[in-house]
Amino acid sequence: MALSETERRIINKYQRGIPYEPRPFKAIADALGLTENFVLNTLADLRERRILSRVGPVISPNTVGASTLAAMSVPAGKLDAVAAQVSARPEVNHNYEREHQLNLWFVLAAADRDAVLAVIDDIEKEAGLDVVELPLEEAYHIDLGFRV
Amino acid sequence: MNKVDWKPHMDETDRQIIQATQEGLPLVPRPYHAVAEALGLSSADVMARMQRMLDDGVIRRIGVVPNHYRLGIKANGMSVWDVDDAHVRDAGMELGALDYVTHCYRRPRHLPDWPYNLFAMVHGRRRDEVEALVAEMARILGPRARRHEILFSTRILKKTGLRLGM
């Protein structure tokens, strides 16, 4: 995925945060010697090309509602069907197949802990398989973003 | 380090603001003004509330959020570690400070199937790059880590932003 020098600068410089002010894109433009309109068009284009998933807030886990990481050990022949059932739930926001005996890993979020457990219960009943639930106990990372 | 048992106070309006912006700010000159208009609030109120949520850690940051996969960072390795409980916090803080670790969490073990209590997500362009980084992490942890594995993702089946069930 080819990036222009300006696109690269914007992504590298603003992953950790854009200026918090009423006209943030003008502040970015001023810092980089561009126009506000050019910055807006560049960001819209990066979104259109799906290089950016969004420009906006990143929410910390478990501060708004409750979430958890869960895993299942799904027999190969059932994997596509179970994965589709899991992905179909609106509470599930990530679902990955991984190389392990526990081969289906998903993150789900709901209004509170009871709602999370109710979704897991439903998934277990629908799939006829146990879910290993691994809720977050403590977070340690300092996410500095990616150099591109 | 964020304790997870502390919940900042949030009211219904805060939740509406999160819901209205979780797919991204509108790409217009005054994005907070546009969010405020859509919710029937003043832009000063929206910005004050978002500032408070930034201060409280509800909002980690407001930034450009790249799609790693589209940028060629396709090897997504979840490294998992069995660390003595007495050392897990120190170990987590050391791994979490590494620039190639995007997430680092302590989670419960689930014996006998799952002996690991520390998770660190490592992204790289290639699998061997992720393996080399995890080898470096193993050297950093030394004997504090009894064993570890890397779980590579073989398929992304679903990936969306946080959606609140409200």
CATH of B68-152, one of 3.10.20.30, 3.30.565.10, 3.30.70.3460, 3.40.50.970: 3.30.70.3460
Angle between helices B127-141 and B88-96 (to 10 degrees): 140
Per residue in B45-92, pLDDT (tens digit) is: 999 999 999 998 889 899 999 887 787 777 889 999 999 999 999 999
Residues of A in contact with B114 (CB under 8 A): 71, 102, 132, 134
d(CA B162, CA B96): 22
Q: How far is CA B30 from the centre of its chain?
A: 27
What pLDDT does residue B166 have?
34
| pLDDT digits 0-9 by tens, A5-18 | 999 999 999 998 99
Q: Any CB–CB contact under 8 A between B93 and chain A?
A: yes
Residue B57 dihedral angles phi and psi, to the nearest 5°: 85, 5
- The kind and range of the H/E element at B34 are helix B31-39
Q: What is the nearest CA distance from B63 to chain A, expressed in angstroms?
A: 4
Residues of chain A with pLDDT under 50: none
The per-residue pLDDT for A64 is: 75
Per-residue pLDDT at B6? 59
Query: What ipTM score was computed for the predicted complex, to two decimals?
Result: 0.74
Residue ranges, CATH 3.30.70.3460, chain A:
66-134
Domain extent listing, chain B: 12-56, 68-152
Q: Do A134 and B110 touch (CB under 8 A)?
A: yes
Q: How far is A128 from chain B (nearest CA, A)?
A: 18
CATH C-level class of A66-134? alpha beta
**Per-position DSSP letters for chain A, written without gaps between them:** ----HHHHHHHHHHSS----SSSHHHHHHHHHT--HHHHHHHHHHHHHTTSEEEEEEEEPTTTSSEEEEEEE---GGGHHHHHHHHHTSTTEEEEEEESSSS-EEEEEEESSHHHHHHHHHHHHHHHTS-EEEE---EE---------
Nearest residue on chain A to B161, alpha-carbon basis: A93
Secondary structure of B67-134 in HEC code, one letter for each residue: CHHHHCCCEEEEEEEEECHHHHHHHHHHHHCCCCEEEEEECCCECCCECCCEEEEEEECCHHHHHHHH
